[in-house]
Chains A and B, each alone.
Chain A
Amino acid sequence: MPVIEASDVSKCFGTTRVLQGVSLNVDEGEFFGLFGPNGAGKTTLLRVLTGQLMQDTGTVVTAGVPNTEPIRLKQRVGIVPEAETPPTFLTAQETLELTCMIRGLDDVQSRIERWIRFFDLKEKRDVLCRDLSKGERQKVMLAAAFIHEPGLLLLDEPFINLDPIYQRRVREYLQGVASEGRTVFMCTHILEIAERLCETVAVIHRGRVVEQGRLAEVSRGGGLEEVFLRAVEGEAVA
């Protein structure tokens, strides 16, 4: 059963066409990877799928909710955006409290404790987010996306700024999420990690999905790098 259904989605910024007729289906329980060169439209697509941005044409239904109802949609999913921008004047602890309260969660303290422990943020929990390092702020963003244990996670470069220890920890967590039947949709440039995690992939180039399917099928025995290069270079030649 698809948890993300995008049909013929197009989006322009001024005269620049960033997405052109993108159609995409992601099934429940899948670990889905979206790849593409810089400026291909990955972040825009993720923002459209999560109701942060409205497409010019086409339809999007995410977690059973059309993206024309962004509040209801965001209530059901966890999102890690491209930039790590937690609230400037709140502490790490308060950011997680705010997230729990906005989402109307119970067991707030135990949830926060779990993620503070997971990311080893105990020493930094009372530090203002503006004073945290990039990696620490990324941990806060990840914790805030995971804290309500949503059925669908949409992650834009989730491993960025994380050191190898936490990259591994997050990777294992995400594998666990998928094994529980929940869905992960991830944009990343780190093909080695994606190769280990993703079952289904799509490659986007110049706003179009140029390759899509199960990793084993689209890779044809090669690696994800070959899929990526073939799709992008093939499109460029065409």
Chain B
Amino acid sequence: MRQSLSLRLFKAMMKEEWRLHQSLVGPLGSGLFPAMIFVFTAFLAVVTPLLLSRLPTATLLLMLHAASVAYGLFVGNFGSIGEQVMTRRLGQVSMVMQMPQTYPVSFKRMMAVFYAKDAVFYLLYSYIPLTLGVAVAAPMAEASLSGVAMLGVTTFLAFMVGMGLSFTLSAVSVRSRPAGLAMYAALACVVAMIHPLGIIGPECLMPSLGYWASKDPQGIAAAAAASLILASLGVALMKEKYEIRQSRHGDSILGFDRLLDFMGGLSTLAAKEWIEVRRSGALAPVVFSFGGHLLAVYLMSWVFERGVGVDLGFNVVFYSGFVGFMGVMTYSFITNLEHNEYLNVQPVSVDQVVKCKLAVYFALTTGVAALYVVGLGAVKHQMGLVPLGLLLAAATSVYVAAVTSHLTGLWTNTMFFDAGIILRFCGAVVPPMIVAEIAALIMPVRPAAAYAVVTVSVVLLLVSVPILRGLERKWAGASFSLVNTGQ
């Protein structure tokens, strides 16, 4: 029987995705990624009931589904892909997605197939290993395997709703910025109506969560329908034609370069990086997403405390420890803006650009991080802890950025799909974070723990120095083209 075009495209895209991963991180790294998710989840599933014995099941389910929607929102920004393809921002990497430029295939069909491919990819690469990981701990938590399977289904559907929502929002934003902003504002209103206003239930945004209240399959059907409707809406709203606007800018890199004289030999490249962040429209999203993620950590614990009625005792120093961790996403975003292939033919090395990316990263995040720590100090009436919080925030920020840039260079988003790299990252970042956070938590009962926070911070800063110095040795010989198969 003759296969439909969509099915052929789907198969081609799945092959492409797998081969792209293999070419970037190797077959072993690529294959180990789901295995690593399985092991991590199994570990977490075993220890979570012990750590959170007082956590009601309903709150745990709410958190899991909310995290899945957030994950979907994070990965579903496909609306801008069309623009990237049509404005030739994918560098030398040619993908099946680019076929509508030259072949009689509509962009909408291509996006529908791409969406389906990504859904299957995340199901295989994330949700099945996650569910299997939880299944390992099921006997210890006295949970049935069928219940775990249902949890996998409902969280995946929550992910699909988030992905569909993000797809639709991005497709609208590409058509009309004001309409996109209005839709984001509407989404924020829905979230506010769920919490803190409590006018509507969380099932309105996460229909699959409704299944757990009454075991009524209606919630699952509603979630499946919502994700299908959102995906269809996103596809329908995709633009078929992208007019190549001629953006004109009369600025000169020369004057700007002089403002960055303090960066010495890197001032020119740093000026280029800054201009790219500004012109790509990434400035506001980067700053708000960094601040938003930090705020989300605080809000999640606040919701938890309100929901369970327990004071977790998280102080300003504890929250400050998350600054560096959240910065990884910001650094990844900055490294994703431009392919930099042009620099292959200039006397510039990858480590120089990595250093400039770090400079931009610190310029974008330092003020937000400081505001976060000082703001929390004021809200929680812990201004006395702010200096210690600032020290820990600075130390984790510098250390995690140093480790991330050392391990992933200019390709953070891609390299983190390599199980070997993510394991090394976790090995380097998680232990000091745990020590600092435990010390921060026990400070109210053991004030001497503050010395441990100071010690960890100073050690992290000191360790960061050789890591940052080692960037040159690690990346100087690298090519700016990640996929290096040219003839």
Give residues in A with beta carbon < 8 Å to B.
13, 18, 38-44, 47, 50, 52-54, 70-75, 79-83, 85-91, 93-95, 97-99, 101-103, 108, 126-128, 130-131, 144-145
Contacts and interface: CB of A to CB of B under 8 A. Distances in A.
Nearest to A82: B486
Interface string B217-232: 0000000000000000
Nearest to A126: B248
A124 to B, nearest CB: 8
Interface stretch (B86-94, B197-205, B458-466): B86-94
Given A83-B341, A88-B338, A126-B249, A70 B349 contact: yes
Contact of B268 (A13, A83, A98): A98
Contacts of A82: 486
B344 interface: yes
B347 A108 contact: no
A179 to B, nearest CB: 25
A70 B126 CA distance: 40
B487 A44 contact: yes
B486 A85 contact: no
Which bucket holds chain B's interface residue count?
35 or more
Nearest to B349: A71
Contact of B249 (A47, A73, A128): A128
Contact of B348 (A71, A73, A93, A95): A71
Contact of A85 (B91, B245, B275, B347): B91
Contacts of A50: 345
Interface stretch (B135-143, B250-258, B400-408, B429-437): B250-258
Given A53-B479, A90-B272, A101-B253, A44 B486 contact: yes
Nearest to A68: B477
A126 B250 contact: yes
Contacts of B249: 91, 94, 126, 128
Interface in B336-362: 337-342, 344-349
A43 to B, nearest CB: 5
A13 B486 CA distance: 9
A80 B477 CA distance: 20
B253 A94 contact: yes
Contacts of B88: 88, 130
Given A130-B89, A131-B244, A74 B486 contact: no
Most chain B C-beta atoms within 10 Å of own C-beta, residue among A42, A53, A81, A88: A88
B269 A102 contact: yes
B4 interface: no
A146 B210 CA distance: 66
Contacts of A52: 344-345, 479
A47 B480 CA distance: 12
A97 B252 contact: yes
Contact of B257 (A72, A83, A99, A101): A101
B321 to A, nearest CB: 35
B279 interface: yes
A42 B487 CA distance: 7
A71 B341 contact: no
B346 to A, nearest CB: 5
Contacts of B251: 91, 94
B380 to A, nearest CB: 41
Given A87-B276, A101-B268, A41 B487 contact: yes
Given A71-B349, A87-B272, A145-B345, A127 B247 contact: yes
Nearest to B269: A102
A74 B348 CA distance: 8
A91 B487 CA distance: 30
Interface of B: 87-89, 91-92, 244-254, 257, 268-269, 272, 275-276, 279-280, 337-342, 344-349, 477, 479, 484-487
Contacts of A81: 341, 344-345
B280 A43 contact: no
B485 A94 contact: no
Contacts of B347: 70-75, 102-103
13 contacts: A44-B487, A50-B345, A54-B477, A74-B346, A74-B348, A85-B92, A85-B342, A87-B276, A89-B275, A90-B272, A126-B248, A130-B88, A131-B245
Nearest to A41: B487
B246 A94 contact: no
Contact of B486 (A43, A75, A80, A86): A43
Given A130-B87, A131-B247, 15 more contacts: A41-B487, A42-B487, A54-B477, A70-B349, A71-B347, A73-B347, A88-B276, A88-B338, A90-B276, A93-B252, A97-B253, A98-B268, A101-B254, A101-B257, A103-B346
A103 B89 CA distance: 25
B90 to A, nearest CB: 10
A60 to B, nearest CB: 14
A87 B348 CA distance: 14
Given A101-B257, A102-B269, A94 B275 contact: yes
A81 B339 CA distance: 15
B269 A79 contact: no
Contacts of B254: 97, 101, 108
Contacts of B338: 87-89
A95 B87 CA distance: 18
A18 to B, nearest CB: 6
Contacts of A95: 342
Contacts of B345: 50, 52, 74, 79-81, 144-145
Nearest to A207: B487
Contacts of A43: 486-487
Contacts of A94: 249, 251-253, 275
Nearest to B345: A79
Contacts of A90: 253, 272, 275-276
Contacts of A87: 272, 276, 338, 340, 342
Contacts of A130: 87-89
Contacts of A42: 487
Contacts of B257: 101
Given A94-B252, A128-B279, A131-B245, A102 B484 contact: no
A42 B65 CA distance: 53
A158 to B, nearest CB: 12
A87 B343 CA distance: 8
